[in-house]
Amino acid sequence: MNIKELVKPNIRSLRAYHAEDLPCRAKLDANESPYPALSSQQSAVSVKNALQSLNRYPDPQAISLRKLLATGLKVKPQNILHGNGSDELIQSLIATFGGPVLYPVPTFSMYGIIAQSLGERRGAVPLDEKFDLDIDKFLDAIKKRNPKLIFLSSPNNPTGNSFSYDRILKIIKRSNGIVVVDEAYQPFSSKKSFIPMLKKHKNLVILRTMSKTGLAALRVGFMITHEDIVNEVNKVRLPFNLNSLSQKLAAAALSDEKPILANVKGIISERKRLMREMKKIKGIIPYPSDANFILFKVEDSDIIHRMLLKKGVLVRNMRGVVDGCLRVTAGTPGENSEFLRMLKQLMTK
């Protein structure tokens, strides 16, 4: 029996999301935080608490967590919907509204992968030479395709820059569909969040995640939007999508955000140091970043990727997404120094 023949055509031609799990000393490939957001002592208390009710399903509404998130963001809990990572919310949004789904490229690959896996039409509009939105082309695509959903990752993964505020706003105003501003990397950005725009624009959804600030293992993502959108997307959410341990640990982290904010500050300063030092290395072009990673161009990216890994430093090879580029996540000062030392060595050979 040929299993492939049984698979839906839109899945047959799909390639699974590729995340490497290679042994290394410095893991700088997945835009994670090098610091857990909770100490092991704090985690132990929350875990102990959660272990007492392992026989019960988790809170389907994640009330405590949503209340804490709402307070921190100065919105109401009914404006927030929780996901098993923001990945899941991308899927729920596409399942709810359908396509066409429009996004710029290069960007986070899951927008396209999920649209295709759900059998929805999708369209990609190339970014301009500064990796900003090509507003004329984008507005043109909106006119021609009338997308139900637009995904804008700002700061953008993998390029690192934020898109121009005015261009995003224009897209929100001109779209007859939903515009999702994916702010996964907003905590590291010097630019304004779009959360204050929610009051004015009913078609706006903001995506956030706790994965980049020290809780990637928990898979806690959430969206902030108009209550009407929350209620519709909530219909496709699986009832117990966020497990009790994740809910409790995330709530514990949110009840005192000072350590998270201090870590974010440290990561931003390390990203700035990485940028300064990378600019000094001949043969490397690092691109400006508002996120916790830096995209850089190098003569032979496959070789440099391989050689860095041989020396114990894992970065992301962006082949097929931004050809000739690698992406490095800001790690601890020690990991970053190691990366810079190895890169300098390789580039002066």
State the residues that interact with ligand PMP by CB under 6 A: 31, 85-87, 108, 153, 157, 182, 184, 209, 211, 216, 221
Phi, psi of 120 (to 5 degrees): -100, 150
Tokens of 57: 């399903």
**Beta carbons within 8 Å of 282's beta carbon, 6+ residues apart:** 347, 348
Tokens of 153: 């990752």
Nearest to 86, CA basis, from 94, 98, 76, 77 = 94
Compute the least distance from the CB of residue 240 to ligand PMP, in Å. Answer: 18
Compute the least distance from the CB of residue 214 to ligand PMP, in Å. Answer: 12
Instruction: Report the residue number, 209 or 225, with the smaller CB distance to ligand PMP.
Output: 209
Instruction: Report the residue number, 127 or 342, with the smaller CB distance to ligand PMP.
Output: 127
Instruction: Report the residue number, 148 or 219, with the smaller CB distance to ligand PMP.
Output: 219
Compute the least distance from the CB of residue 178 to ligand PMP, in Å. Answer: 16
CA distance 284 to 297: 6
Compute the least distance from the CB of residue 105 to ligand PMP, in Å. Answer: 13
Instruction: Report the residue number, 209 or 244, with the smaller CB distance to ligand PMP.
Output: 209
By three-state DSSP, how is residue 332 classified? Answer: coil
Compute the least distance from the CB of residue 177 to ligand PMP, in Å. Answer: 19
Instruction: Report the residue number, 182 or 290, with the smaller CB distance to ligand PMP.
Output: 182
Compute the least distance from the CB of residue 182 to ligand PMP, in Å. Answer: 5
Instruction: Report the residue number, 31 or 336, with the smaller CB distance to ligand PMP.
Output: 31
Burial (CB count <10 Å: 0-12, 13-18, 19+), residue 253:
buried
Compute the least distance from the CB of residue 89 to ligand PMP, in Å. Answer: 8
Instruction: Report the residue number, 180 or 340, with the smaller CB distance to ligand PMP.
Output: 180
* Strands 101-105, 325-329: pairing kind: unpaired
What is the number of the residue whose Cβ is closest to ligand PMP?
85
By three-state DSSP, how is residue 149 classified? Answer: strand
* Strands 178-182, 149-153: pairing kind: parallel
CA distance 229 to 55: 32
CA 268 to each of CA 187, 188, 328: distance values in angstroms, whole numbers, following the listed order = 9, 6, 13
Rg, Å, the chain Cα set: 20
